[in-house]
Amino acid sequence: MKKLQFTKDEGSEFYKELIKRTDEYFIENNIDKSGNGIMYFKIFMYFSLDILFYWLMITSENEILFVLFYLLMGLSILLTAFNISHDAAHGVAVKSKAWNKFLFSLSFNLQGNNAYVWGKNHNESHHLYTNVEGSDIDVLNNPLFRMTESQPLKWFHKYQFIYAPFLYLLYSLNWFFLRETLMLVNYSSRTIKIDIPKNEIFKLVIFKMLYIGYMIALPILLVPFGWTWVAMAFILNHFMVSLIFVGVLGVSHVSDYVHHPVPDKDNKLNMSWPKLQMQTSVDYNADSVFFNWTLGGFNAHALHHLLPTISHVHYLKILPIFRELCNKYNITYMEMPYLESLASHFRFLKSVGRNNKIVPIPYER
């Protein structure tokens, strides 16, 4: 992974005051930046729903109800990841460092994915070098998609905006079966190499086996109908989770509004780190109570990238401060309704699949 240097600009002063003003908000209101009562309720609610739907699934005697409860369990686990795992990965779900680590590891590893690998690279790669190819692990290097100018333009890329939704269905299956498995042999389909400690390799294998055990093997043993229903439910669940996951996160950084900065020969970017975050993130319905509750604040992505040490349960309160300072320092804050961000995502796929040059659309409000 290429480590980059940044350049001081207006984003530096903007960020300095943003930290100062948000710190003042928490001090004046005598509250902690970590999760509050709402977060504790979410922790109880989502883990309870995970267990409830799993129990209803494995005790189902009707095929349709079995599939329904299987999908509801998958949705509940995904929302657990959005609302609890992510905050815990940043150490802000609860006050206790040990409990944050436990909540993150439990909720993430039980999905069959490795918490250490995702957490380390999410915090040390994606958050630091957002949308910079070769430094941000979430910049795809996939032969079926073209996302950056450095990737060669193939004849089939002009159709990527059409076939993208079908490939998106496979996102979580690819993550579970291929992405982390390739990392074990120090090969990654992403743009940077991953080194995994031996103990984490052991955990990665064990939890994947455990996941297959309770998501496939145990239901086959317990439900009174054939394995084909279990296999169908498993695949449908991954299709659903994949579409929701990509639909929630993909529109934030893959858009015809965002930039894909390229460092110079000395690995230096011509902007500050805060400005990088603002130029590479799109927010949608940032002040929506519903989206904040269900998506764990992922819809306020620019705000999260700049303030990852603040739990999402506080975003609605500090959003006015954020907007005020963006206006004060003339920092472009790209926020829009969700459907507009989704349209921007597919416009980007269409444009980059047909043009060698990637030119972001100027954001105007």
Q: What is the DSSP letter of 159?
A: G
The Cα–Cα gap between 89 and 92 comes to 8
Closest CA to 306 of 6, 11, 2, 5: 11
User: What pLDDT is stored for residue 107 in this prediction?
Assistant: 79
d(CA 226, CA 151): 45
Mean pLDDT score, 78-103? 93
3-state secondary structure of 77: helix
Can you tell me the mean pLDDT for 74-85? 93
| pLDDT tens sequence across 120-173 | 778 778 888 888 887 777 776 677 899 888 888 999 999 999 999 999 999 999
Write out the two tokens for 355. Answer: 């043009």
Kindly tell me the burial class for residue 187, based on how many C-beta atoms sit within 10 Å of its own C-beta (0-12, 13-18, 19 or more). exposed
pLDDT value at position 159?
A: 96
Task: Please give the DSSP secondary-structure letter assigned to residue 151.
Answer: S
- Closest to 334 measured CA to CA, from 251, 271, 261, 262: 251
- Going by pLDDT thresholds of 50, 70 and 90, the confidence category of residue 199 is confident
For residue range 237-285, what is the model confidence (pLDDT) as tens digits?
999 999 999 999 989 999 999 998 888 888 899 999 999 999 999 999 9
DSSP letter for 268, please: B
Q: What is the mean pLDDT of residues 300-321?
A: 95
Q: Of 331, 343, 349, which Cα lies nearest the Cα of 280?
A: 331
- The reply to whether the predicted model has a pTM over 0.75 is yes
pLDDT at position 189, please? 53
